[in-house]
Structure 1
Amino acid sequence: MIKAENIHKYYGDLEVLKGVDLHIKKSEIVAIVGPSGAGKTTLLQILGTLDKPTQSEGLSINDTEIKRLNDKALSKFRNKHIGFIFQFHQLLPEFTALENVCIPGFIANRSRKEVEEEAERLLSFMGLSDRKNHKPSELSGGEQQRVAVARALINKPDVIFADEPSGNLDTTSSRNLHELFFTLRDKFKQTFVIVTHNQELAQMADRKLEMKDGKIIHS
């Protein structure tokens, strides 16, 4: 599903990633852990095609070699095959939960009817049917994060990248979100790559990759 070889990333003279190699299988849930400054988020952004490595021997997702895609093709690939969940859910405050979930589907030029039906189904799956017309300010933190998860799933991506998805949630909401990831994997067969400081989530994952000083030191 995801294969990265010898990923390096520099910011000026600072080498943040120092030759990272990894292979993640389809439908695997992988947690990336390590101290702040280890390079976890930088690696996640490169794997998710939001950033580019300074040098590498290859990065492929679902048998597509990423560096062969121009910017337009990369944007289209990202919209179709990749979903993102962030610590700060980044919902648009002026839109309802349903409208927020629909946005990636509209960007993909899918029909409004199809997208809205899929968004309704996902919100129902998340237990949010009665909250679909509420704006983010009217939702709890856990509800907002579930809306963000539904948004990440709307285009049925192959892989979900999550950066500290429960970092802003209370203990109960965190546990519910973690359990949701495994339910989604079992139901939709998606791959999850999760950067987290939450040890409970990391221990639940199929595999834990530990980073330190820009390298994976344990997998």
Structure 2
Amino acid sequence: MIKAEHIVKSYGDLQVLKGVDLNIEKGEVVSIVGASGAGKTTLLQILGTLDRVDKKGGTVLNINGIDITSLSERDLSKFRNKNIGFIFQFHQLLPEFTALENVCIPAYIAKKDKAESERRAKEILTFLGLSHRFEHKPNQLSGGEQQRVAVARSLINDPALILADEPSGNLDSESAENLHNLFFKLRDEFNQTFVIVTHNTDLAEMADRKLTMVDGRII
């Protein structure tokens, strides 16, 4: 699913990633932990194709059978939309749209049929216990419901990989626990791969593997 070798990333004179090696199998739930500034979010952004690796000799970044480093910006955008779902600490829902419309946005970007996209969105929202919230806007939803809508949005294009950055960091303990359990339910149901950056000890320990980053490297 993911093969990364010698991932290096610098911003000016600051080297954030210092040769990260990473192998993740399909269907794994992997947590990444470490102190602030260790490079966790930068690594997640590179795996999500939101940022590019430095062009260094020996660098390999292969996701779902595709050499990411060789893609143009246009092809990278298409790859991201089709293969990767994102869940952030702050749900990043668009306030002017309903839950259903927010979930459908990635499908619309992919130019999928509108009726089929809405049918699929309703199916996912129902699976997540939100069948009564289709027409509600984000400010009418609880924090846990907003995050579940964000999860549904990440699933709408049936991506092979879900990347989550502090997904429960803005939730109360009960909502956080429910979200954590949901990730494993989704993995078991859809065989998706999850890479989760978190400071939440419980979530980190639930994962199939816990990786620790220190000073730009996985130890």
Distance in 1 separating the partners of 2:122 and 2:204:
30
SS at match of 2:135: coil
* 1:183 maps to 2:185: yes
Partner of 2:119: 117
Q: How far did 1:84 drift?
A: 0.3
Partner of 1:62: 64
Relative to the length of structure 2, the TM-score reads 0.98
Distance in 2 separating the partners of 1:22 and 1:115:
34
Q: Report 1:14-163 matches (<5 A).
A: 14-56=14-56, 57-163=59-165
SS at match of 2:132: helix
Work out whether residues 7 and 55 of structure 1, in 8 Å CA contact, stay in contact via their aligned partners in 2: no
Distance in 1 separating the partners of 2:47 and 2:104:
24
Q: How far did 1:153 drift?
A: 0.1
Distance in 2 separating the partners of 1:132 and 1:176:
20
Distance in 2 separating the partners of 1:188 and 1:178:
16
Partner of 1:194: 196
Q: Match for 1:32: what amino acid?
A: I
Work out whether residues 6 and 21 of structure 1, in 8 Å CA contact, stay in contact via their aligned partners in 2: yes
Relative to the length of structure 1, the TM-score reads 0.98
Deviations 1:31-81 (A, max 9, x none): 000000000000000011000111351101011000111111111110000
Distance in 2 separating the partners of 1:121 and 1:47:
28
Q: How far did 1:175 drift?
A: 0.2
Q: How far did 1:142 drift?
A: 0.3
Distance in 2 separating the partners of 1:11 and 1:71:
19
Distance in 2 separating the partners of 1:21 and 1:157:
23
Distance in 1 separating the partners of 2:5 and 2:217:
12
Partner of 2:169: 167
Q: Match for 1:13: what amino acid?
A: D
Matched residues, number:
217
Q: How far did 1:128 drift?
A: 0.4
Q: Match for 2:10: what amino acid?
A: Y
Partner of 2:7: 7
Q: Match for 1:169: what amino acid?
A: L
Deviations 1:170-211 (A, max 9, x none): 000000000000000000000000000000000000000000
User: Identity, % of aligned pairs?
Assistant: 69
RMSD: 0.6
Distance in 1 separating the partners of 2:190 and 2:38:
31
Which structure 1 residue ranges, 5 or more long, are not aligned?
A: none
Q: Which moved more, 1:117-126 or 1:55-64?
A: 55-64
Distance in 2 separating the partners of 1:100 and 1:71:
25
